[in-house]
Structure 1
Amino acid sequence: MVWSLIRRRRAASRLPVPGRCTPGRHVLATERLLLFTPRTRLDVAAAVAASADAEAQRWLGTLADEVVPDPGVRRALLAWRPAGDDGRRIPRELAEPYAPGPDDPLLLVCVRRSDLTYAGALELQHVQGEMGGWLAPGCRGRGLGGELFRAGVELAHTHLGLATIRAGAEPGNTASRGALARAGFVPDEGPPRHTLSDGRVIDALWHRNDTAAPSRCPALTATD
């Protein structure tokens, strides 16, 4: 029993710690979610798998070569825990370190703090100041969307120094619109039509969240 407790404590300690951002990598926490810059290819693959089902792709419209089409593979990826944090050895190619590119959108994978299961991801286009996010199928309908977008607000305003962050949603996507409202977003003006990555053109409603005092996390200010 003592040995099993020690092993669990050591495994948990491998997770990134909120407040300890490093250059190019961020860590945030909400009541039920831990969000961090992917550390391994598994983190990225799980983030992609969380959005690859038909329900999510109805709204996201990701390019076909950027999703995980096989439901069995998606389930397998989402069944893992962040590499090394549940004591299981993952395939070598998924354990390889992940290094975000300087021009890539800022991606944070998220896990549920209660059991470390992959819960979804947050993506922020920091140049345009636009944010999007998604939850894994098993995490929808639990009120986690508001927490996910609140983390995005914190990332934008207190980590990246953005005074305004915007997000768009289809009029019929009431779940996303409700989550944005719970995160403090208000209606904003914007193009009434939006083209998704797969070429579909959809109706769009825009939302914004502002702060009068944006700031940057120490990991960024240290590199200025």
Structure 2
Amino acid sequence: MVWSLFRRGPATRGLPVPGRCAPGRHVLATERLLLFTPRTRLDVVAALAASADAEAQRWLGTQADEVVPDPDIRRELLAWRPAGDDGRRIPHGLAEPYAPGPDDPLLLVCVRRSDLSYAGALELEQRAGEMGGWLAPGCRGQGLGAELFRAGAELAHTHVGLATVRAGAETGNTASRRALARAGFVPDEGPLRHALPNGRVITSVWHRHDTPAASRCR
């Protein structure tokens, strides 16, 4: 639910190159964002920190054990940059490699292409064909939501092979609904009520994005 030319340098050595995917891992680039399968635990925790503030949790309703509650820790995590293969600059305990599970939803962390700062994340549940995403507080209100959701449609259509991808949003979440529309999603039918991970039930509206020629990345 919905509730970048990339310049490689010493601080980014080891990051995947846009457009180059590997088994179980994906990379996409938009005008201002780079999205990739997390490489370290830092990438995952920073993605969670980007959605842990009260404004985001109003729509996402993440389970309590997946939220970074301390705002100072969230700011500190979002101040880091993804690091290279040698793990330099990664805080202790967060340099462990991230290996996505075979049944996990696809998670792509996103960073700004201008400075590689963490910007949010995109999530795709392949079996249900449903997508969600979020942006860090400092990245909202700049039109990046539409880029994020366009990347989600590209991930579904040209990397995973889905002809249709759907996204739901709470009725009052006008920012996400506008971003989905700008990304080319159209209204769709779906359940009028939805239970968030924390158990809160919301009223929801649904959107879809279709392609006549779905494919998979190599």
Q: What's the C-alpha RMSD, in Å, of the aligned pairs?
A: 1.4
TM-score, length basis structure 1: 0.91
| 1:61-102 alpha-carbon deviations (Å, 9 max, x no partner) | 0001110000011000000000249x9522231011100000
* Distance (whole Å) between structure 2 residues aligned to residue 197 and residue 211 of structure 1: 30
2:143 aligned residue: 143
Contact 2:12–2:82 (Cα < 8 Å) also in 1: no
1:194 aligned residue: 194
Matched letter for residue 183 of structure 2: A
Contact 2:163–2:213 (Cα < 8 Å) also in 1: yes
Moved more, 9-18 or 128-137: 9-18
Report deviation, 1:138: 0.3
* Distance (whole Å) between structure 1 residues aligned to residue 67 and residue 12 of structure 2: 29
Q: State how 1:100-111 maps to structure 2 within 5 Å.
A: 100-111=100-111
Report the CA distance shift for 1:91/1:11 in structure 2 as closer, same or farther (over 3 A): closer
Matched letter for residue 81 of structure 2: R
1:172 aligned residue: 172
Matched letter for residue 106 of structure 1: L
The alignment covers a number of residue pairs equal to 210
2:126 aligned residue: 126
Contact 1:184–1:209 (Cα < 8 Å) also in 2: yes
* Distance (whole Å) between structure 1 residues aligned to residue 103 and residue 217 of structure 2: 19
* Distance (whole Å) between structure 1 residues aligned to residue 58 and residue 12 of structure 2: 35
1:217 aligned residue: 217
Contact 1:122–1:148 (Cα < 8 Å) also in 2: yes
Unaligned runs of 5+ in 1: 1-7, 219-224
Pair member with larger Rg: 1
Contact 1:42–1:83 (Cα < 8 Å) also in 2: no
* Distance (whole Å) between structure 2 residues aligned to residue 165 and residue 101 of structure 1: 21
| 1:13-50 alpha-carbon deviations (Å, 9 max, x no partner) | 43211121000000000000000000000000000000
Matched letter for residue 136 of structure 2: A
* Distance (whole Å) between structure 2 residues aligned to residue 103 and residue 120 of structure 1: 22
TM-score, length basis structure 2: 0.93
* Distance (whole Å) between structure 2 residues aligned to residue 70 and residue 125 of structure 1: 28
How much identity, in percent, do the aligned residues show?
82
Matched letter for residue 121 of structure 1: A
